[in-house]
Structure 1
Amino acid sequence: MKVLLILVGIVAVFWGVTLWKAARHEARAQADYPPLGQFVTVGGARLHLLQVGQGPDIVLIHGASGNMRDFTMDLVGRLSDRYRVTVVDRPGLGHSDRLDRDGATIFEQADVLVAAVAQLGVERPLVLGHSYGGAVALAWATRHPEATAGLILLAAASNPWEGPLSTYYRVLSHPLGQALAVPILTAWVPDHVVTDTIASVFAPQPTPEGYDQYIGAGLTLQRRALRENALQRAGVLAEVRQMVPDYAALDLPVEILHGDADTTVWASIHSEPLARQIAAANLVVMAGVGHSPHFAEPETVVAAIDRAAARAGLN
């Protein structure tokens, strides 16, 4: 009995220290990487948005695990001289609240983002999505065609794929993982573990200089973000499968860009079929480019945005 009490005491102390360290880690991340923009509230959830520039509207939607800094580091500056650019932290990530505890679907995210940008006067923008954010952009267009001038999809998850959910996401999306594993990761995993994995996202290109310091790895390790990202990732395959039949009805300019060296979201599984599924789609396969076209060849991405704007009659 005495041994059991000692073990219980050790576990209690460890858990108390874990929760304290998790809160401390989150506070440091919030202080080191404060909000870049402003907040709007939709359905009780505070969402973080940044709006800069003048001209036709474009909304930028980031991928899994990340935040708006993936775009503000470089791409926003290339566009804000002639577009009004609105960048978002997707629900639960960056500085945005979760919508609920079940994980926001791509359709729920599209709905709330349409409402959020409308509060900033954005009614019918071009919508650019990268990776998981491309699935949200497609959900935006299929559910709200009246609020979409055109799409620019970068390495977008757009069609069903084979293979099980990774062990990491299976654990973190399970109720026990949400309750136990997530706080342990937030408390005890140093930021450099996140930044060390960034290289695989950019490969075969090198990680852009300063990216790992700029992106805010601590924001990714917030308990809220880890929980929400895992649930979103666990649900996206079924959601994409549900959305595919709606592609044929899309009647708007669509520019699709995908690197042929992308081993995170494969062009042959996603963008190449998508280009056949949408009549107005224009596919650009980028030779030797990995999963981040907007860093590997930003001029190509900007040219695609300009084409979409011209096709939509915005400039």
Structure 2
Amino acid sequence: MPFVDRPDARLYYEVHGTGTPLLLIMGVGGNLRWWGSGFVRKLAARHTVIAFDNRGAGESEAHPTEPWTIEEMADDAHAVLQDAGFSRAHVLGYSMGGMIAQELALRHPEAVDALVLGATSCGGPQMIQAEDVKREMRSRPTDLAARAEWYMRLFFPEEFRAKNEAYLRGAFRLLLRADMPEAVYQAQLDAVERWQGSWDRLSNVTSRTLVMHGLSDRVLPYANGERLAYRMPGARLKLYAGCGHGFAMQAGAAVLRDVLMFLGGEAAKEDR
């Protein structure tokens, strides 16, 4: 199992497939398993997919004795890419992973080819998030079943939950068997809150960019995606009707198609 050592962390990663490299960066509370085996397998049919566990998540080893930052997690991602033997890759970041991806593109522009930002924000004062959602994000239930229900409410609109309740409950209970320590989860949220954001620097991103967002996202409303696309030169924006923060699970086939088309150089259909 490949690991890369950082000054205060040991990061686990996996490599799948062949082709142009594609680095996946997961969000708060998740690990590389949260991408879904089918999603990774289909991406790996065209790309060399490098997926890793953020510090303290999954198989990675780290304890937040000092505050973590989005910037150092971007350097983590860069270290994983280099250890896997690649100097440059496409990058797909989801939620907090999209923030990390932005910093990666700004701190290590030579390492980022195309950039895909899903359900994320530029952070800082320009980030849009309701206060009640911020409080809810800080209060994960300790019981496994209750935590699965909590994620379902946060990530998906009521109508989708009602139609897919059994599937979603089973999926989250399975994912949460390898859940991260609460201290790590809170440290990730702290890093997002402390991040000064990328708004003033987004025009410096040279990578061609696709921004993807669910129109019914409660965690980070779709206006965050609109702001990113507006601020980044030539960025494309793809919005998914009826989809929440977990838009990639709700509209999996469409999301996979749009990502592969964009990475392959084809224009994803804009839906502003």
TM-score by length of 2: 0.84
Amino acid at match of 1:255: L
8 Å contact from structure 2 (residues 4, 79) kept in 1: no
CA distance in 1, matches of 2:184, 2:198: 21
Is residue 282 of structure 1 aligned with residue 251 of structure 2?
no
Amino acid at match of 2:143: P
Deviation of residue 191 (structure 1)? 1.8
After superposition, where does 1:28-67 map in structure 2 within 5 Å? Answer: 38-43=2-7, 45-67=9-31
Amino acid at match of 1:166: R
Partner of 1:254: 209
Q: Is the alpha carbon distance of 1:162 and 1:211 closer, same or farther for their aligned partners in structure 2, counting shifts above 3 Å?
A: closer
CA distance in 1, matches of 2:6, 2:191: 22
Aligned residues: 254
CA distance in 1, matches of 2:7, 2:51: 20
Is residue 310 of structure 1 aligned with residue 270 of structure 2?
no
In structure 2, the gaps of 5 or more residues are 267-272
8 Å contact from structure 2 (residues 211, 238) kept in 1: yes
The structure whose Rg is larger is 1
SS in 2 for 1:284: strand
In structure 1, the gaps of 5 or more residues are 1-36, 173-184
SS in 2 for 1:285: strand
8 Å contact from structure 1 (residues 255, 304) kept in 2: no
CA distance in 1, matches of 2:148, 2:233: 39
Partner of 1:21: none
8 Å contact from structure 1 (residues 67, 93) kept in 2: yes
After superposition, where does 1:219-238 map in structure 2 within 5 Å? Answer: 219-220=178-179, 222=180, 225-238=181-194
CA distance in 2, matches of 1:43, 1:304: 37
8 Å contact from structure 2 (residues 43, 260) kept in 1: no
Of 91, 100, 109, the match for 2:73: 109
Amino acid at match of 2:206: D
Partner of 1:7: none
After superposition, where does 1:75-224 map in structure 2 within 5 Å? Answer: 75-98=39-62, 100-159=64-123, 160-161=127-128, 164=131, 165-166=134-135, 169=138, 189-200=142-153, 201-204=155-158, 205-206=160-161, 208=167, 210-215=170-175, 217-220=176-179, 222=180
Amino acid at match of 1:149: D
Deviation of residue 94 (structure 1)? 1.5
CA distance in 2, matches of 1:58, 1:284: 20
Partner of 1:176: none
Deviation of residue 50 (structure 1)? 1.2
Deviation of residue 44 (structure 1)? 5.0
8 Å contact from structure 2 (residues 91, 112) kept in 1: yes
Deviation of residue 306 (structure 1)? 2.3
Amino acid at match of 1:38: P
Partner of 2:245: 291
Deviation of residue 214 (structure 1)? 2.9
The structure richer in helix per residue is: 1
Which has the higher relative contact order, 1 or 2, with Cα contacts under 8 A spaced 6 or more apart? 1
Deviation of residue 89 (structure 1)? 0.8
8 Å contact from structure 1 (residues 50, 87) kept in 2: yes
8 Å contact from structure 1 (residues 102, 231) kept in 2: no
Measured against aligned partners, the alpha-carbon deviations of 1:264-297 in whole angstroms (never above 9, x if no partner) come to 11011x1001111001210011111111122112
Aligned-pair identity (%)? 24
Q: How big is the alpha-carbon RMSD for the aligned residues of Structure 1 and Structure 2?
A: 2.4
SS in 1 for 2:198: helix
Measured against aligned partners, the alpha-carbon deviations of 1:112-162 in whole angstroms (never above 9, x if no partner) come to 111122111122111111111111111111111110001111111324236
